[in-house]
Amino acid sequence: MSITLDGSNVSTVGVINSGTAVASTSGTSVIFSGIPAGVKRVQLIYSGVVTSGTSVLIVQLGTSSGFTTSGYLGSAGGVLTATVATSQQNSTGFCLDPWTGANVRYGIATFDLLTGNTWVMACSGGITGAAGFAAGGGSIALSTTLTQLQLKATNGTDTFTAGSVNIFYE
């Protein structure tokens, strides 16, 4: 195995790197910037995340020019209490699950570089208090190299009230 270091002595090939866990207890988004060039996979891990409102959570990928806010393909679906199935699709970001409201969410979303600047997402997770689980997938073609990602509600105004979020990349 070969290991390649970028200019900040962070390995970008062959080793999993960890971001710094962020408490998702305030603000309208959780942003991870400074993703180094050459990264082929990013994982977003979230635990106990709750928002104040009724919007679906999405992840937007970004470049040095900002976050991509359109062109996302795919959806997320889920089952609550073993009987209610639902799904969400949103072209402004990758949906992590189909639920609205102040649910306590846990899960992981993986973003893999397919080719060029096209990224494919797969996610799975669950919520507490309602015996629910979700899975989803999608893709987005970015204009240039991925450098950042953000977790936010679709309406852009719901605030985070609990939980923790981190990324891993390789």
Q: Is residue 4 part of a domain?
A: no
Q: Is residue 3 part of a domain?
A: no
Going by the DSSP 8-state scheme, the letter that residue 157 receives in this structure is -
70-85 per-position pLDDT tens digit: 999 999 988 877 666 7
Q: Is residue 17 part of a domain?
A: yes
Pairing of strands 118-128, 84-88: unpaired
Could you give the number of structural domains in the chain? 1
Q: Is residue 90 part of a domain?
A: yes
Q: Is residue 2 part of a domain?
A: no
134-160 per-position pLDDT tens digit: 999 999 999 999 999 999 998 889 999
Containing domain of residue 31, as a range? 12-169
Going by the DSSP 8-state scheme, the letter that residue 62 receives in this structure is E
CATH of the domain at 162: 2.60.120
pLDDT at position 2 is: 44
Q: Is residue 112 part of a domain?
A: yes
Query: Which residues partner with 168 through β-bridges?
Result: 18, 43
Choose among 135, 156, 157, 117: nearest CA to 35: 117
Q: Is the pLDDT of residue 4 over 60?
A: no
Rounded to the nearest angstrom, the gap between the alpha carbon of residue 130 and the centroid of all alpha carbons in its chain is 22
Q: Is the pLDDT of residue 32 over 80?
A: yes
Q: Is residue 155 part of a domain?
A: yes
Q: Is residue 95 part of a domain?
A: yes
Q: Is the pLDDT of residue 133 over 60?
A: yes
Stretch 4-10: mean pLDDT: 54
